[in-house]
Amino acid sequence: AQSVTQLGSHVSVSEGALVLLRCNYSSSVPPYLFWYVQYPNQGLQLLLKYTTGATLVKGINGFEAEFKKSETSFHLTKPSAHMSDAAEYFCAVSSDSGTYKYIFGTGTRLKVLA
């Protein structure tokens, strides 16, 4: 079975500061990993994904994440937070094994302080 753990349901950073949102996964098969962002009253949209190949993945809006198999992690970072980054962020895992089906973490709400 697969699972995702996001540490910290709420994270606050100052504008211009580093953003770090943590995601750890559990998977017995090679995972596909995703970060999604949800703005108020909207659906989720993809920030970035890891499938195979390069472990450092760059996404939209200056975000990036690094797949670390030894740590079973896929943390999301952005060097400098912007007010428009305030949203809820979800990490998700899927795989080619079985009939899958994406599993989501419980989300991290990012607040950006002026």
Partner 1 sequence: DADVTQTPRNRITKTGKRIMLECSQTKGHDRMYWYRQDPGLGLQLIYYSFDVKDINKGEISDGYSVSRQAQAKFSLSLESAIPNQTALYFCATSSGASGELFFGEGSRLTVL
Closest CA to 24 of 66, 77, 90, 74: 74
What six digits make up the tokens of 80?
């400098």
Stretch that binds partner 1, among 12-20, 62-70, 71-79, 103-111 (CB under 8 A): 103-111
- Using CB under 8 A as the criterion, what x/- string covers residues 48-77 for binding partner 1? -x-x--------------------------
Query: Per DSSP, which regions of the chain are E strands?
Result: 3-7, 10-14, 19-26, 32-38, 44-50, 56-58, 64-68, 73-78, 87-94, 103-104, 108-113
Does residue 46 bind partner 1 (CB under 8 A)?
yes
Stretch that binds partner 1, among 19-27, 60-68, 69-77, 86-94 (CB under 8 A): 86-94
d(CA 79, CA 70): 24
Q: Which is nearer to partner 1, 87 or 92 (CB)?
A: 92
User: Given the rule CB under 8 A, which residues bind partner 1?
Assistant: 6, 9, 32, 34, 36, 41-46, 49, 51, 90, 92, 94-96, 99-107
